[in-house]
A and B are shown apart, each in its own frame.
Chain A
Amino acid sequence: MSEMTFVQACNAALRQELDRDPNVFLMGEDIAHYGGMFRVTEGLLETYGENRVIDTPISESGFIGMALGAALAGKRPVAELMFIDFSLVAMDQIHNQIAKTFGMSGGTVHVPLTIITQGGGYKGAAAQHSQMLEALFLHVPGVKVVAPSNPADAKGLLASAIRDNHPVLFLEHKQLLPVKGEVPDGEHLVPLGKANVVRPGKDLSLFTYSFSVHMAMEAADLAAKEGIEVEVIDLRSLDPLDWETIEKSVKKTHRVLIAHEAHARCGVGVDLAAQIQKRLFDELDAPIEICAALDFPIPFAKVLEDEVLPTVPKILSAIKEAVGGRW
Chain B
Amino acid sequence: MSRVNGENAPPEQPIQGQPIQGQPTPDQPTAEQFFRTMVTMEIVEKSLTRLSQSGDLRGSLHLAQGQEAVPAGACAALNKDDYLTATYRGHGYVLAKGCDLEAVLAEVLGRSTGLCHGYGGKMHLFDASHGLLGTNGIVAGGIGTAAGAALAAKIDGNGRVALTVFGDGAINQGHAHECFNMAALYKLPAIFLCENNLYAEMTPLDRSHGNTNLTERIGSYGIATTQVDGNDPVAVFQTMTEAVARARKGEGPTFIEAHTYRTIGHYQADPGTAYRTQEEIDEWRSKNPVARYQAMLGDKGDAIRAEVEEHVESIIKKVLSSPLPTWDSALVGGAK
Contacts and interface: CB of A to CB of B under 8 A. Distances in A.
A62 B149 contact: no
Contact of B147 (A62, A71, A108): A62
B124 interface: yes
Interface in A88-112: 92-93, 96-97, 100-109
A55 interface: yes
A70 interface: yes
Interface string B325-336: 100100111111
A102 B134 CA distance: 11
Nearest to B179: A62
B175 A105 contact: no
A102 to B, nearest CB: 7
Interface string A102-128: 111111110000000000000000000
A74 interface: yes
A68 B18 contact: no
Contact of B126 (A55, A71, A108): A108
Contact of A54 (B14, B118, B175): B14
B15 A69 contact: no
A107 B155 CA distance: 26
B179 A72 contact: no
A57 B334 CA distance: 31
Interface residues of B, number: 55
A194 interface: no
Secondary structure type dominating chain A contacts: mixed
Given A105-B116, A106-B117, A69 B182 contact: no
Contacts of A57: 178, 181-182, 185
Nearest to A54: B15
A40 to B, nearest CB: 19
Contacts of A73: 83, 133, 148-149, 152-153, 160, 162
Interface stretch (B55-63, B136-144, B252-260, B283-291): B136-144
Contact of B144 (A50, A97, A105, A164): A97
Interface string B115-141: 111111000101010000110111001
Contacts of A108: 115-117, 126, 128
B126 A109 contact: yes
Interface residues of A, number: 46
A222 to B, nearest CB: 37
A106 B118 contact: yes
A96 B138 contact: yes
A105 B120 contact: yes
Given A51-B16, A51-B17, A66-B182, A92 B175 contact: yes
B146 A69 contact: yes
A209 interface: no
A50 B116 contact: no
A96 B179 CA distance: 17
Contact of B331 (A62, A64, A107): A107
Contact of A65 (B16, B117, B118, B145): B145
B124 A105 contact: yes
Contact of B14 (A50, A74, A240): A50
B333 A240 contact: yes
B116 A106 contact: yes
Interface in B154-168: 155-156, 160, 162
B148 A61 contact: no
Given A54-B15, A65-B145, A93-B144, A104 B152 contact: no
B170 interface: no
A62 B184 CA distance: 13
Given A57-B178, A62-B144, A166 B155 contact: no
5 contacts: A65-B144, A70-B148, A73-B152, A103-B331, A164-B334
The 3 A-B pairs of least Cβ separation, nearest first, read A65-B144, A69-B148, A62-B178
Given A65-B144, A69-B148, A108-B128, 9 more contacts: A54-B15, A59-B181, A61-B174, A61-B178, A66-B147, A66-B179, A69-B145, A70-B148, A97-B136
